[in-house]
Structure 1
Amino acid sequence: MLLTLPAPLRRALWAQVRRELPRECVGALGGWVRGEQVQAHALYPLPNVAADPEREYLADPGDLLRVVRAMQREGLDLVALYHSHPHGPAAPSASDRRLAAYPVPYLIADPAAEVLRAYLLPGGEEVEVRSADESN
């Protein structure tokens, strides 16, 4: 599987990661899936409502539902979820695997190492993330 993340979305994701420090950020990506190709088109930041937001993330289910409905109105699908690990690494934690509920890539940002990786959870298969400019 290949996830294409346009440069403006990548910049917006990293801006949210830095803005939320030392808390974990969370959000969703809308776009299209064509076979093994996933194209992100829109970024939807969500508030982290976890009890301990510096060590875990939780998107409010109502907010996530509103975002998914907004995607549908825009002709998009939920193609990925993302969050950050403020102290690294950009790898799924045990709670990330346990709480994974959607069959989409989960992007994890490590701001200390400036690394962004994606995984299919709960299994942990890594998904290639490719940058793209707006013309792609």
Structure 2
Amino acid sequence: MFSEFKEFILKGNVLDLAVAVIIGAAFATITTSLTEDVIMPIVSAILGTPDFSSMFILLGSPPSDYAGAMDDYAALKEAGVPMLGWGQFLTVVINFLILAFIIFLIVRYANKVMKQMEEEKAAEESGPTEIDLLTEIRDNLKK
């Protein structure tokens, strides 16, 4: 059983998947920072609010013993107040769209490179082209 597990783990697909997960997690951190530290402050400045992720709509009243501010999203959420956190949701959606677009660009580029490599391989396997043969014949006739 151990040898089967070792064979499974050492297969290229599993190692490739592990590398992809690690790189994906790191990339997600970069994308989150791009969203939270660059894009959302610009959106917040346009909309006139300093912290876009804390925009919400109260759906109920806070508990009677709640003493925090009524505009503190984190405190209200911790107190269990029902609310619709549309600002945080919008931030996550924008983060997802940025990540999806960047992954699209990477996959698009990878597909382009793979197609080009396949075309080069096919050209090598098919032998010399007509132009190469004609050039060779011309060179031989010159000699």
Q: Tell me the TM-score normalized by structure 2.
A: 0.19
Select the structure with the greater relative contact order (CA < 8 A; seq sep ≥ 6): 1
The higher radius of gyration belongs to 2
Bigger share in strand: 1
